[in-house]
Copies of this chain bind each other. A is one copy, B any other.
Amino acid sequence: MHSFVELIARKRDGLPLGSSEIRGIIEGFSSGAMADYQMSALLMAIYLRGLSEDETVALTFAMLHSGKVLSLPEVPGVKVDKHSTGGVGDKISICLAPLVAACGVPVPMVSGRGLGHTGGTLDKLEAIPGFQTSLSTEEFARLVKELGTCMIGQTKDIAPADKRIYALRDVTATVECIPLIVASILSKKLAEGIDGLVLDVKVGRGAFMKNVEAARNLATALVRVGTSAGKKVTAVLTRMDTPLGLTIGNANETREALEILHGKGPADVLACTMLLGKEMLMLGGVVANEAEATKKLEAAISSGRALETMARMVAAQKGDARVVADPSLLRMHSAEVSITATRDGFVTALDALELGLSGVAMGAGRNRAEDSVDHAVGIELHQKVGAQVRCGDTLAVLQLRKASDADKVKERVLAAFTIADEAVAEGPLALERIVSR
């Protein structure tokens, strides 16, 4: 084993690192033998020199085995999870997990919190009074077995090296690096004891990947490395130029996700849920083809079984299950400020990034990991791309603790709407699909 300095020098010079060397690095970092400042120099060298697929697989496994790895042998069936690379208004996990579980595919889901302009599933779920996202790994396994799904946060047992490395990347300009993103995502997801994984790789203004090529590179790397790890992996590239659905916040997004399980909710949220649900059922092996998957998902909603799974999960995780039956119980702050159109025309663009950042500025999200969020502030969109509006029409409503809190964001929210003379058609939700070889 070479010294850490020699290994950093190797990557600095563009030379490959072996699996045992990468394992030695992560073990050394975990034990404290390798310092933070050495890891950050290595991360920058990786950012600029890259990692091969073999190196990325080795890094993923080393980070995975820095913590506890669940195997869930007591849960029968092909266990499948979904991961989204993050977008604005992306509340899909909340309705997707119980829906897919109700169709017979177990969904052990470990989610994250919001950071930057994107929201996080845990923050949204915690808008349900009492809902607990910090369960032990034993409790998690028990609930997945009993209910078919459970949704928790990354415990300190799961890939602790990833947690520390992510924190370093965040402050050393090494976040946007495909092999490091792949290892971070997969080391956490492989720790859940899954057999298959559906990846929703977002692309566009409101996503981390701004163009299709970058998103495709990330999706391809995720699928390859996940497949090398022995998992069935499917990635779909979906558009994230405008927010998903009509809500941006926490309680309001959870309400919108629950409405999907009631057979209601916005068309784009339903479409994204169905798209990812079909992929999960196919990976789970409970359907023969896409048409059968669609039928099964629709039946789980119309029969109320998906809603029932959600209610049982919420109750088991100490949440107030009445909100599942009546999502309108998820209240927002009562101070409302309307944003109105300043001209006649058609909404031709709705900037997800600006709306996401406005939500963060209002207190719905975080700039730093240690910030807390206000579950009851948010933005409700009244018009989306394609809508015809007249000057004075309400475009959006800001929901706040007090009306004056709107001052710092209302110009920004208005500017997020582009209104033009001619209507434009929105492109399709799904752009590409990348599957295991």
A residues contacting B by CB (< 8 A) are: 4-6, 8-9, 12, 35-45, 47-49, 168, 170-174
Contact = CB atoms under 8 A, between A and B. Distances in A.
A168 B5 CA distance: 11
23 contacts: A5-B170, A5-B172, A5-B173, A8-B44, A9-B173, A12-B44, A12-B47, A12-B48, A12-B174, A35-B171, A36-B37, A37-B40, A37-B168, A37-B172, A38-B40, A40-B40, A41-B43, A41-B44, A41-B174, A42-B44, A44-B45, A44-B48, A45-B48
B38 A172 contact: yes
A172 B41 contact: yes
What are the 8 tightest A-B residue pairs by CB atom distance, in nearest-first order? A41-B172, A9-B173, A44-B44, A37-B40, A8-B173, A40-B41, A36-B37, A41-B44
Contacts of A168: 37
A8 B37 CA distance: 14
Q: Which of A12, A40, A173 has the most CB of B within 10 A?
A: A173
A174 B4 CA distance: 13
Nearest to A8: B173
B171 A12 contact: no
A170 B44 CA distance: 16
Contacts of A8: 44, 172-173
Nearest to A14: B48
A43 B173 CA distance: 13
A125 B35 CA distance: 35
Nearest to A176: B9
Contacts of A4: 171
A37 to B, nearest CB: 4
Contacts of A174: 12, 41
Contacts of A173: 5-6, 8-9, 12, 41, 45
Contacts of A44: 8, 12, 40-42, 44-45, 48
Given A6-B173, A45-B173, 7 more contacts: A35-B36, A37-B37, A37-B40, A40-B40, A41-B41, A41-B43, A41-B174
A314 to B, nearest CB: 38
Contacts of A43: 41
Contacts of A38: 40, 171-172
A140 to B, nearest CB: 32
A43 B48 CA distance: 13
A170 to B, nearest CB: 8
Contacts of A9: 173
A181 to B, nearest CB: 16
B47 A171 contact: no
A419 to B, nearest CB: 33
Contacts of A170: 5
Contact of A39 (B5, B37, B42, B49): B37
Contacts of A35: 36, 171
Q: Which of A4, A41, A47, A48 has the most CB of B within 10 A?
A: A41
A40 B34 CA distance: 13
Contacts of A40: 37-38, 40-41, 44
A293 B87 CA distance: 73
A170 B4 CA distance: 11
A369 B8 CA distance: 20
Nearest to A167: B37
Nearest to A43: B41
A39 B40 CA distance: 9
Nearest to A168: B37
Given A12-B44, A12-B47, A43-B41, A171 B5 contact: yes
Contacts of A48: 12, 44-45, 48-49
Contact of A36 (B5, B36, B42, B45): B36
Contacts of A37: 36-37, 39-40, 168, 171-172
